[in-house]
A and B are shown apart, each in its own frame.
Chain A
Amino acid sequence: NAGVMQNPRHLVRRRGQEARLRCSPMKGHSHVYWYRQLPEEGLKFMVYLQKENIIDESGMPKERFSAEFPKEGPSILRIQQVVRGDSAAYFCASSLGTGDYGYTFGSGTRLTVV
């Protein structure tokens, strides 16, 4: 039973390019969370999705960032026209539901914008 799979593990993009980060939740998990960790900082919540729905995007930057979790396939965090300040580790977590359920984190994608 594989855990939360994130790919790629490392991603390098030039300024202005697009970055696509993928997250496959644990089998049976329909809740996905994305977090960002800037260098030398803690993790900050970005967005919470259930299948085909964005439930809470209060932590998402208003521009250039979007997320989806389609009926089939992984959740995607998309960053358009990346800038140096987007360089960070992006973590995905999944759970069975809200309430008394545990979280499982992926290993993260480290984005470097050059």
Chain B
Amino acid sequence: AQKVTQAQTEISVVEKEDVTLDCVYETRDTTYYLFWYKQPPSGELVFLIRRNSFDEQNEISGRYSWNFQKSTSSFNFTITASQVVDSAVYFCALSEARNTDKLIFGTGTRLQVFP
């Protein structure tokens, strides 16, 4: 069965600290996609990244980086030098090519960055 686990419910850091949000997934499909979304207090969903199962290269985008490891079924997200504007709920999600591509979301990690 497909499942996404975000074990960290809430994380608090002080500005400029680095923070890693964990995501572990389960799937029996060989072709799947992994996503991260940000949900700021205003409530909309902001797309951050999509990664397919055949591309294990790590990705860096500014202060954001993602570590995809198929061996441990993890897709962790690191924010370097966090800022107050990073405060939000972050969701990891999985979609399977054979399963109509619907997204399976984790329960989210609430990140609070204090000045």
Contact = CB atoms under 8 A, between A and B. Distances in A.
Contacts of A45: 102-104
Contact of B107 (A41, A105, A110): A41
Contacts of B43: 89, 107-108, 110
Nearest to B6: A42
Interface of B: 33, 35, 37, 43-45, 47, 50, 52, 91, 93, 97, 100-108
Interface stretch (A11-19, A21-29, A74-82, A95-103): A95-103
A33 interface: yes
Nearest to B37: A105
**Which of B43, B101, B108 gathers most chain A CB within 10 Å?**
B101
Interface of A: 33, 35, 41-45, 48, 55-56, 59, 89, 91, 93, 95, 98-105, 107-108, 110
B45 A55 contact: no
Contacts, number: 56
Contact of B103 (A33, A101, A107): A33
Given A42-B91, A42-B106, A42-B107, A91 B45 contact: yes
Nearest to A99: B97
Contact of A98 (B45, B91, B97, B107): B97
A28 to B, nearest CB: 17
Contacts of A44: 105
A35 B105 CA distance: 10
A112 B45 CA distance: 19
Nearest to A31: B101
